[in-house]
Amino acid sequence: MTNAASSERTADVQEEDLRRVWANPTGWRYWTSVNNTQIGLWYGSAAFIFMLFAGVLALLVRLQLAVPDNDFLSADMFNQAFTLHGTVMMFLFAVPIFEAVAIFLLPSMLGARELPFPRLSAFGFWSFALGGVFVCGSIFFNAAPNSGWFMYPPLATDKEYSGIGADIWLLGLSFIEVASIAAAVEIIVGIMKCRAPGMRINMMPLFAWYLLIVGGMILFAFPPLIAGDILFEMERMFDWPFFDAKRGGDPLLWQHLFWIFGHPEVYIIFLPAIALMAMIVPTFAQRPIIGYSWIVLAAVGTGFLSFGLWVHHMFTTGLPQISLAFFSAASEAVAIPTGVQIFVFIATMLAGRVIFSLPMLFGAGGLAIFVIGGLTGVMVALAPFDWQAHDTYFVVAHLHYVLIGGMLFPVLAGIYYYYPLINARKLSDRLGKIAFWLMFIGFNVAFFPMHLTGLRGMPRRVFTYPAEVGWDLLNLISTVGAFIFATGVALVVIDILRPKHREPKGKMNPWNAGTLEWISEPEENWGVRSIPIIKSRYPLWDQPGLIDDINKGRFYLPDTQDGRRETLVTSVLDADPVQCLRVGGTSYLTIISALSLGGVFIALTFHWWLLTVLCGIVTLGAILIWLWTGTSEIPKRNERDIGLGVTLPLYVSGPASVGWWAMFITMAGDGTAFASLMFGYFFYWTIHPDFTAGLPGPGAGWPIVAVALFALAWLAMLLARHANANDRVWMARLSLLGSVPITLAACLAGLAGPYLHDMQPTVHVYPAIVWVISLWTVLHGLVAIIMQLYCLAGSFAGRLTASYDADLRNVMLYWHFLMITAMISFGVLGLFPEVR
């Protein structure tokens, strides 16, 4: 009896400790929080506000088109409105909202106390918020981008037409893409390495499976756009003619790079929304999902196939018909995994006893709409049909059926479903039902007629139309529908915002769901009170007493040590505990680095060079301080008792560590951007009989010297790592120090080729692409030098030793990628013109 009483007292003390360590700061310092659940909420709210803003723009567009020959908006304001509408919906709502939901839900869903890089999430959020406000704000200064959300050159490279809007688009969104890649790193590493012990990959919640795939897709989809943005901005800023046909460039390259990003993006948006359905459907069928493995098939299959579809946005650009046919075939094939998911949901509902709740209503309504969009998708995937429908309102109807049915409705289902996790209360059932029917009916009234306006030949993006062509009535109906739809959205907003503190709090897990995210308590910041051992796909259904055991602190990590925030790292396949990871706490550094990086992009937009450099220095400084003070810290003790008789190391390095994986994932994305630049090089080779246009190249000599020097530096780094591991400290320091000038020489040799051969990047696209690839590689070399010096400083400061060598091993991984980049870039630049 006394034993039980004393252990209860211990548990109370532990709970207080835990609460204090994970508490958010108060007052205005609240905004320096880095807790993932907090960041997820901010992220989601910001994305939702951007969505409402873009929705208002859409209403303006619809008002203008309600009647023929309307002058409600000027042509230019109309162009700004529809461009910003598309841009904001895609970049500031659809992608971020899923990152937000993932960051919010994943910790508790995986039974983790926290994801591995909370500060990175905060950094991503602040980048996103600043970039978003910058892009959205431009319309109030009549300076918004106005050439469509895909920014096709030559329209968008025409400075007289597009003004500063195109720069705002390119730089503002590049900045937001940084945030997306940061989120992808956090999500992938979190899912692979931070699941609760026992949660093997065959028991992972389906949401996590989807998000894992989507994270991977981001790594291969966003970098091509970043590469495209670089080329585009170089053309706008310095007149390098990448897309100027007169000087050997080609606008089609932009279309390729944009859609290699743009088509997978549709699935990056769609899969997480379907992932929400994969969590909701089993709850309301009150049974496990039927066909778990089939959902995995669908997620992975769609993820891959979605990269073989991009040219179906380019069917009318005059590409060879055989190319069109490949993409048409792949576009039809992707219907298979997409369909599988819907059949899995139907089968699960048939096998269970469905409770028709509000989330199910939104989900089912959304899927019905999505299926119609999918069917018109199969139509436009056929090249001959697309030649007729391309650039008409038929496509507008198609894409809204897909995105609103496949994304917006499921997200709303998710909001109604998960709201109790935010506020411990449900949203109003009655308001929700009215909102759903207004939205469902309004949507169809607005968008179904657009199929017909399109078939009647109305082109997209016209700001008005004459009365006699037979589009009047259909457009008027669409406008009425849009406003009905907007009323529904407004009801949802009212429901979310109305004060609820007078309502009694609901019970935990109000829908009787089976998955772990429902153990999360809205008032607590610690993710989970103790990290459970998982034995089922639906632990809350199958493991009786689980919630009680978790909340009484009977599992792992029920306490804190040294006042640090800690989470558990487990193995990829079987989720065996491998490390107790100390994660970053509250910090200003994330905000400072995000805002100063934002400053770099904003200053670039207005060509304020000095400010750009200044902000760049602040960013670099902030990131270095962040790394120095917040990562690879050597713990006081090597090991930590995490409870239940398990002791784990506090410090690991190499492939066992989360930092190594973050580097690997980042560099995979970086490598994709590089591959996109190389794609550009060979693209120019294919379109010209002589792609050098008779101009001098960098020659073979200097590029080969550059590769040799990079190889030498790489070997010196290998030696440094090896010596360090064997505790030969001075050898390691000398190698590190020696590799710095070699790397610098390699960079200079890389630039010597184009410089000494007087290659003028503004004359023709050939010198321009050679310069841009050389600069890319050299820039990576310079970053490598910073890393080398950082490791050297670490060695002198005693932060880098034989057994604590995470920094050096991560830098070595960077060097492997850099070596491949250097070999390919200088190898191709030097040798390809000789051998072709």
Burial of 757: CB neighbours in 10 Å, binned 0-12, 13-18, 19+: middle
How near is the Cβ of 680 to another protein at its closest, in Å? 14
How near is the Cβ of 307 to another protein at its closest, in Å? 7
Q: Please choose, from the candidates 704, 708, 679, 688, the residue with its C-alpha nearest in 3D space to the C-alpha of residue 834.
A: 704
Q: Please choose, from the candidates 61, 60, 55, 57, the residue with its C-alpha nearest in 3D space to the C-alpha of residue 488.
A: 55
344's CB contacts (< 8 A; 6+ apart) are: 289, 290, 291, 294, 295, 298
How near is the Cβ of 548 to another protein at its closest, in Å? 20
- Toward another protein, which CB reaches closer, 203 or 508? 203
How near is the Cβ of 535 to another protein at its closest, in Å? 4
- Toward another protein, which CB reaches closer, 1 or 322? 322
- Toward another protein, which CB reaches closer, 328 or 596? 328
- Toward another protein, which CB reaches closer, 7 or 317? 317
- Toward another protein, which CB reaches closer, 305 or 713? 305
What Å distances lie between residue 785 and 549, 722, 729, 814, CA to CA?
A: 50, 19, 19, 11
How near is the Cβ of 505 to another protein at its closest, in Å? 33
Could you tell me how many residues make up the chain?
836
Q: Which residues partner with 648 through β-bridges?
A: 640
- Toward another protein, which CB reaches closer, 506 or 655? 655
Q: Which amino acid is at 25?
A: P
How near is the Cβ of 87 to another protein at its closest, in Å? 29
69's CB contacts (< 8 A; 6+ apart) are: 464, 465, 466, 467
- Toward another protein, which CB reaches closer, 25 or 339? 339
- Toward another protein, which CB reaches closer, 330 or 349? 330
- Toward another protein, which CB reaches closer, 61 or 531? 531
744's CB contacts (< 8 A; 6+ apart) are: 781, 785
Q: Please choose, from the candidates 591, 632, 599, 639, the residue with its C-alpha nearest in 3D space to the C-alpha of residue 616.
A: 599
| CA-atom Rg of the chain in angstroms | 27
Q: How far apart are the first and last CA of the chain?
A: 86
- Toward another protein, which CB reaches closer, 201 or 508? 201
How near is the Cβ of 251 to another protein at its closest, in Å? 16
- For another protein, the binding residues (CB under 8 A) are 198, 200-203, 288, 291-294, 296-297, 300-301, 303-305, 307-308, 318-323, 325-330, 332-333, 336-337, 534-537, 572-574, 686-687
How near is the Cβ of 835 to another protein at its closest, in Å? 15
How near is the Cβ of 243 to another protein at its closest, in Å? 18
Q: Which amino acid is at 159?
A: K
How near is the Cβ of 246 to another protein at its closest, in Å? 20
Separation CA 28–CA 36 (nearest Å): 18
Q: Where are the beta strands (DSSP E) in 611-694?
A: 639-643, 646-649
- Toward another protein, which CB reaches closer, 197 or 241? 197
Return the SS3 of 716. helix
Return the SS3 of 156. coil
Burial of 793: CB neighbours in 10 Å, binned 0-12, 13-18, 19+: middle
How near is the Cβ of 260 to another protein at its closest, in Å? 11
How near is the Cβ of 200 to another protein at its closest, in Å? 4
How near is the Cβ of 328 to another protein at its closest, in Å? 8
> DSSP secondary structure string, 624-687?
HHHHHHHSSPPPSSSEEEEETTEEEES---GGGSHHHHHHHHHHHHHHHHHHHHHHHHHHHHHH
Q: What is residue 584's DSSP assignment? A: P
- Toward another protein, which CB reaches closer, 88 or 665? 665
Whose tokens are 């190249």? That residue is 697
How near is the Cβ of 221 to another protein at its closest, in Å? 13
Whose tokens are 């320091």? That residue is 733
**Residue 351 contacts residue 405 (beta carbons within 8 Å):** no
Tokens of 209: 């499976």
> DSSP secondary structure string, 506-538?
--SSTT---SGGGG--TT--SS-SSBPPP-SSS
Tokens of 448: 């179904």
- Toward another protein, which CB reaches closer, 141 or 326? 326
How near is the Cβ of 112 to another protein at its closest, in Å? 18
- Toward another protein, which CB reaches closer, 70 or 286? 286
How near is the Cβ of 662 to another protein at its closest, in Å? 17
Q: Please choose, from the candidates 667, 792, 685, 661, the residue with its C-alpha nearest in 3D space to the C-alpha of residue 736.
A: 792
- Toward another protein, which CB reaches closer, 129 or 257? 257
Cis omega before residue 154 (within 30°)?
Answer: yes
How near is the Cβ of 220 to another protein at its closest, in Å? 10
How near is the Cβ of 234 to another protein at its closest, in Å? 24
Tokens of 555: 């599992």
Q: Can you list the alpha helix ranges (DSSP code H) found in 456-586?
A: 472-497, 539-542, 546-551
- Toward another protein, which CB reaches closer, 442 or 539? 539
Classify 73 in phi/psi space as left (phi over 0), alpha (psi -120 to 50) or beta: beta
Whose tokens are 């199958």? That residue is 542
Q: Please choose, from the candidates 248, 259, 251, 190, the residue with its C-alpha nearest in 3D space to the C-alpha of residue 224.
A: 259
Q: Please choose, from the candidates 653, 626, 629, 636, the residue with its C-alpha nearest in 3D space to the C-alpha of residue 804.
A: 653
Q: Please choose, from the candidates 477, 342, 360, the residue with its C-alpha nearest in 3D space to the C-alpha of residue 62.
A: 477
Classify 499 in phi/psi space as left (phi over 0), alpha (psi -120 to 50) or beta: beta
- Cα angle value 806/810/816 (rounded, 5°): 145
**Residue 268 contacts residue 221 (beta carbons within 8 Å):** yes
- Toward another protein, which CB reaches closer, 300 or 793? 300
- Toward another protein, which CB reaches closer, 118 or 337? 337
